[in-house]
Structure 1
Amino acid sequence: MLFRSLKPLLAGEQHLQLIWLALGSVPVVEFAAHANPDALVLDLQHGLWERTTLEAAIGAVGMHVPVIARCAENSHGAISQALDAGAASVLVPLVETAEDARRAISAGRYPPTGKRSAGGVRPLRAGLEAMRAADRDVAIGLMIETVEGVENVEAIAATAGVDYLFIGTGDLALSRGTSDSEVIGRDCERIVRAAAANGLPCGIFTANARAVRQAFESGCRMAVSANDIDLVKEGFLAARKATFEC
Structure 2
Amino acid sequence: MQTIPDVRPVHQSLQKAFAEKRALSCAWFAMGSAPLVEIGMTAAPDLIVIDRQHGLWERTALEAVIGQMRYQVPVIVRVGENSAQAIAEALDAGAASALVPLVESADEARRAVSFGRYPPFGQRSAGGVRPLIAGIAAMKNDGERISIGVMIETVAGAEQVEAIAAVEGLGYLFIGTGDLSLSRGDVMPDVIEQDCARILKAARANNLACGIYTGSTQDALAARAMGFDFVVAASDIEVARAGFQQAVTALRA
TM score, norm. by length of structure 1: 0.97
Q: CA deviation at 1:2?
A: 6.2
Match of 2:139 in 1: 131
Match of 2:174 in 1: 166
From 209, 227, 243, the equivalent of 2:217 is 209
From 127, 130, 133, the equivalent of 1:119 is 127
Instruction: Among all aligned residue pairs of Structure 1 and Structure 2, give the percentage whose two residues are the same amino acid.
Output: 54
After superposition, give the CA deviation of every residue in 1:164-222 in whole Å (9 maximum; x if it has no partner).
Answer: 10000111111111353111001001000000000111100001111111101112111
Code of the residue aligned with 1:74 in structure 2: it is: N
Separation of aligned partners in 2, 1:4 and 1:104 = 21
Matched, 1:52 2:42: no
Separation of aligned partners in 2, 1:166 and 1:56 = 25
> Structure 1 residues 16, 179: closer, same or farther in 2, change over 3 A?
farther
Larger Rg over CA atoms: 2
Aligned length: 245
Query: Structure 1 unaligned runs (5+)?
Result: none
Match of 1:28 in 2: 36
Verify the 8 A CA contact 1:5 1:66 in the aligned structure 2: yes
After superposition, give the CA deviation of every residue in 1:106-129 in whole Å (9 maximum; x if it has no partner).
Answer: 000000100000111111112111
C-alpha RMSD over aligned residues: 1.0
> Structure 1 residues 46, 179: closer, same or farther in 2, change over 3 A?
farther
Separation of aligned partners in 1, 2:229 and 2:193 = 16
From 14, 17, 29, the equivalent of 2:25 is 17
Code of the residue aligned with 1:134 in structure 2: it is: D
TM score, norm. by length of structure 2: 0.95
Query: Structure 2 unaligned runs (5+)?
Result: 1-8
Secondary structure in structure 2 of the residue aligned to 1:122: coil
Verify the 8 A CA contact 1:2 1:126 in the aligned structure 2: no
Separation of aligned partners in 2, 1:35 and 1:66 = 15
From 75, 82, 89, the equivalent of 2:90 is 82
Matches within 5 A, 1:96-245: 96-178=104-186, 180-245=188-253
